[in-house]
Amino acid sequence: MNKPIVIVGQGIAGSTLALELIRRGYKPFVLDASWIFGSTAAAGGSVHPWVLSKQRPTWRGLESFETAQRWYRSAEAMLGLRVWHPLSLYRLSPSGKSPGPSPALASPDTGSMGANSRDAEKHILEDGRIVHAGFGAWLNTRVLVSGIRGYLARRNMLRTAILGERDINFKDRIISLPGGKTLGYSALVLATGLQASQGHGLPWLPPATHLPFYGVLGSIIELYLPELQLPGLIHGPVNILPIPGTGRIRIGTTYHREYKDATTPPNDAQDLCRRAAAILGGFDAADLFRRIEACWSGIRPASRDRLPFMGPVPGYENNGVYCFNGLGTRGLLTAPGLAAQLADALGGTDSLPEDLLPNRGRV
Ligand SMILES: Cc1cc2nc3c(=O)[nH]c(=O)nc-3n(C[C@H](O)[C@H](O)[C@H](O)COP(=O)(O)OP(=O)(O)OC[C@H]3O[C@@H](n4cnc5c(N)ncnc54)[C@H](O)[C@@H]3O)c2cc1C
């Protein structure tokens, strides 16, 4: 029997790769500690192809968005779950008009909120604060990744396990599983995000530590604010993402500082409220702060040149060890297309893009 391709990590990278391999007729085997450790669990879930401040697509933005939309839709059909929620996309008005109270977005206490999303859209647009900038989506990552986990587990393709250095015999390409069993592999793909490379609660895996990561901290707050019916996702100094059908919004941004733990420091929550209030008008920061239901932080597995790492791990080229990592701030957008490329390369039907190889010189 052919040895399987083993994937370590079932965040968005490991999940998309596993399904791409299955679509090509392989039976991969996935080992994952728990996706709650990962960056995918922390993601706000916004998917769109733009660098809105500069009004240009992100790296591979437009093609990735098309691919992602198709991919997540087909995953929905396969899993019988709803995870992809299309949204209009807005950015701050370039006129730089200073924000004041907006009639449609008045304080919840006054009860003068616009009656429906069209009101809110009309007023916030007429107010000159935001302009329509395209389309995006909210991806419900928790439902998606749990759904894929169940799909793999039912087919004996997943094992919950923490893999440490001592569990891998790189020379003979064998992994030791909990309970004393061993598993040979044809290729070992480390889709471990930053966890396994920086040791955030999980054992260090040396191949992953060979990659020059640059972790970027993101913080998110979730508020229950049903009276604020936003017309879509607003992208500015903070992202304001309505979670369709829940009355909740997520406000998040990136903080470039060293990652400590998964708790959002109170200062971040206050800062997010202050910045969101300046965009929305009608709510002051204290109003927003009082409506917080949850807050969390997480680290984005970014590289120094902001491109993913995909290919043989330097120093382990002869041991069949690959990585699929460094997805950075837009991993939900790029993972499906990259996973398809990696699956083709592992199957020998395509080569890997040179600019993504982990041994590229410039990182
Ligand atoms: C706060 C925040 C908000 C974000 N918002 C967005 C957003 O709105 N849109 C967007 O596109 N991107 C967003 N991102 C970025 C996005 O989340 C990442 O690019 C993406 O999720 C990375 O996925 P991954 O699969 O590479 O890593 P992860 O999701 O971290 O998955 C790694 C997996 O490997 C497992 N693992 C690690 N080590 C081991 C081991 N030794 N043994 C077994 N298993 C192991 C972990 O348990 C985990 O399940 C955000 C990130 C953060 C932190």
Residues 6+ apart with CB under 8 A from 110: none
Is the distance from CB of 245 to CB of 87 less than 8 angstroms? no
For the CA atoms of 336, 338, 341, 343, the dihedral, rounded to the nearest 10 degrees, stands at -70
CA 272–ligand 1 middle distance (angstroms): 22
CA-CA distance, 13 to 148, in Å (whole number)? Answer: 12
Residue among 327, 233, 248, 256 at smallest CA distance from 291: 248
Name the closest-CA residue to atom 33, ligand 1: 9
Residue 140's pLDDT is 97
What residues does each domain of the chain span? 5-45+142-211+304-356, 87-136+214-303
Burial 147-177 (b: 16+ CB within 10 A, else e): bbbebbeeeebbbebbbeeebbebeebebbe
User: 40 C-alpha to center of ligand 1: Å?
Assistant: 4
- To test the pocket of ligand 1, the residue of 19, 87, 167, 192 to mutate (highest count of ligand atoms within 8 Å of its CB) is 192
Query: Ligand 1: distance of its center to the CA of 256 in Å?
Result: 17
Residue type, 180: G
Span from the CA of 66 to the centroid of ligand 1 (angstroms): 22
What architecture (CATH level 2) is domain 87-136+214-303? 2-Layer Sandwich (3.30)
Measured in Å, residue 329 CA sits from the centre of ligand 1 at 10
Q: Which residues form ligand 1's pocket by a CB distance below 6 Å?
A: 8-14, 31-35, 37-40, 42-47, 162-163, 191-193, 195-196, 202-203, 205, 218, 220, 252, 298-301, 325, 327-333
For residue 186, the one-letter residue type is: S
Identify which of 218, 303, 266 has the alpha carbon closest to the alpha carbon of residue 38: 218
CA of 329, closest atom in ligand 1: 15
Token pair for 263 = 């708790």
Name the CATH code of domain 5-45+142-211+304-356 (choices 3.40.50.1000, 3.50.50.60, 3.30.565.10, 3.20.20.210). Answer: 3.50.50.60
pLDDT of residue 70: 98
Contacts of 52 (CB under 8 A, 6+ apart): 89, 91, 133, 235, 236
* Closest ligand 1 atom number to CA of residue 45: 8
User: For residues 159 and 144, is the Cβ–Cβ distance under 8 A?
Assistant: no
Q: Please report where in the chains the tokens 């982990």 appear, as a residue.
A: 358
Ligand 1 midpoint to CA 183 (Å): 25
Amino acid at 358: P
Six-digit token string for 266? 């109170």
**Residuewise pLDDT in 10s, the chain (363 residues):** 589 999 999 999 999 999 999 999 999 999 999 866 788 988 999 999 988 777 788 999 999 999 999 999 999 999 999 999 999 999 888 765 544 333 333 222 323 333 344 444 444 555 667 888 889 999 999 999 999 999 999 999 999 999 988 899 999 999 999 888 999 999 999 999 886 666 666 777 777 777 777 777 888 999 999 988 888 999 888 999 999 999 999 999 987 655 555 556 668 899 999 999 988 878 899 999 999 999 988 888 888 888 999 999 988 999 999 999 999 989 999 999 999 999 999 999 989 999 999 988 655
312, 190 contact by CB (below 8 A): no
Sequence-ordered list of residues with C-beta below 8 angstroms from that of 80, at least 6 positions apart, any chain: none
